[in-house]
Amino acid sequence: MKMLINVPETVVADALRGLAAAHPELTVDVENRVIVRRDAPVAGQVGLVSGGGSGHEPLHGGFVGPGMLSAACPGEVFTSPVPDQMLRAAAAVDSGAGVLFIVKNYTGDVLNFDMAAEMAEDEGIQVAKVLVNDDVAVTDSLYTAGRRGTGATLFVEKIAGAAAAEGMPLERVEAIARQVNEGSRSFGIALSACSTPAKGSPTFDLPPGELELGIGIHGEPGRERRAMMTSGEIAEAAVEAVVEDLQPRNPVLVLVNGMGATPLLELYGFNAEVHRVLAQRGVPVARVLVGNYVTSLDMAGASLTLCQVDDELLRLYDAPVKTPGLRWGV
């Protein structure tokens, strides 16, 4: 698999140098692998820190900025960042109002954020943690005990980020982040495997004419393989999986997310089918995002995330945000 890289060993550092060059409003510590909004810490505001393996861009580094994350810690590709990164990020963004760690449910991430939280508390930083575990496809996977964290991470980071920007205290920001996660479900499908720079070839074998339902964001196995389906059939399977589990009573935010290599033309077509099925099921839609937000390198495919919102969560979702990957209102 050909890649636009120098050598696999420098892929993450190269990307961080490129992020720094494109976004002077961020402080990018390439050596220590921490991305921080330049004006951090912001007096009186809770700091939001997330992170995880690289290869899911714009998640997480592309979501650092006013109204969303205060800092992000990128690991190697598909590999958890280490506690030192998280501690460094927490120290950089803590204004005294405390720090919220937003952790996708993967074993390595959970362990390392736990350790970083202990280290930060030892240094006098108040830390709360929220686990994101929205993927309904499988309960345990190669990387996870329990459900995986995928697309809902965007909604948790956006909405909790708005809560922090309004000056809400740590326990309130944490409660809102937890509410967003609990109101969110995701389901992904893959048309092709992704290739990591280190391996240089697809991480699994998906034959011509087949797709995988319930895929994770690292190419880990999903629920089942099937003969290729139409966009409409895939939308029916994804909406059913998500809605049956979520049983939404409120309007939902919809994220139709590309895994990396699927053209936007196809994602919009898929969005049309998702909306058709949601309308059939009587699920009201409050807001829609279509694009590559929580990716899996060059995987072809898409995921659907629904997040049910009350008036407060919708107001916070609509609040201004200014990051490389998500921006409105400023």
Residue 26 Cβ, how far from a second copy at the closest point, in Å?
A: 12
Rounded CA gap, 213 and 234, in Å?
Answer: 8
Segment 221 to 280, residues that bind a second copy, using CB under 8 A: 228, 230-232, 234, 256, 260-273, 275
User: Using CB atoms within 10 A of its CB, is residue 108 exposed (0-12), middle (13-18) or buried (19+)?
Assistant: middle
Among 31, 122, 205, 209, which residue sits at the site for a second copy (rule: CB under 8 A)?
209
Rounded CA gap, 203 and 121, in Å?
Answer: 38
* Contact string 22-61 vs a second copy (x = CB under 8 A): xx------------------------------xx-xx---
* Contact string 163-202 vs a second copy (x = CB under 8 A): ----------------------------xx----------
Among 163, 302, 304, 309, which residue sits at the site for a second copy (rule: CB under 8 A)?
302
284 binds a second copy (CB under 8 A): no
Classify the C-alpha dihedral 210-213-215-220 as positive or negative: negative
208 binds a second copy (CB under 8 A): yes
* Type and span of the H or E element at 257: strand 252-258
Closer CB to a second copy, 119 or 285, in the complex: 285
Separation of first and last alpha carbons in the chain: 39
Closer CB to a second copy, 117 or 259, in the complex: 259
Backbone angles phi, psi at 260, to 5 degrees: 145, -50
Listed ranges 86-94, 150-158, 218-226, 300-308: which one lies at the site for a second copy (CB under 8 A): 300-308
Q: Is 218 a catalytic residue?
A: yes
Residue 199 Cβ, how far from a second copy at the closest point, in Å?
A: 14
User: Using CB atoms within 10 A of its CB, is residue 221 exposed (0-12), middle (13-18) or buried (19+)?
Assistant: middle
Among 93, 99, 180, 211, which residue sits at the site for a second copy (rule: CB under 8 A)?
211
Q: Is 275 a catalytic residue?
A: no
CA 90 to chain centroid, in Å, comes to 19
Closer CB to a second copy, 96 or 263, in the complex: 263
Closer CB to a second copy, 101 or 270, in the complex: 270
CA 266 to chain centroid, in Å, comes to 21
Residue 285 Cβ, how far from a second copy at the closest point, in Å?
A: 8
Q: What are the CB-based long-range contacts (under 8 Å, 24+) for 119-123?
A: 119/83, 119/87, 120/86, 120/87, 120/90, 120/91, 120/94, 123/87, 123/91
Among 128, 138, 242, 290, which residue sits at the site for a second copy (rule: CB under 8 A)?
290
- Give the tokens for residue 179: 């509410």
User: Using CB atoms within 10 A of its CB, is residue 42 exposed (0-12), middle (13-18) or buried (19+)?
Assistant: middle
Query: Interhelix angle for 83-93 vs 107-122, to 10°?
Result: 50
Among 158, 153, 161, 101, smallest CA distance to 125 is for 101
Closer CB to a second copy, 223 or 276, in the complex: 276
What are the E-state strand segments in 88-195? 99-104, 127-132, 184-190
Closer CB to a second copy, 127 or 235, in the complex: 235
Q: Which residues are catalytic?
A: 56, 218
- Binding residues (CB under 8 A) for a second copy: these are 2-7, 10-12, 14-23, 54-55, 57-58, 62, 77, 191-192, 208-209, 211, 228, 230-232, 234, 256, 260-273, 275, 285, 288-290, 292, 295, 297-298, 300-302, 322, 324, 327-330
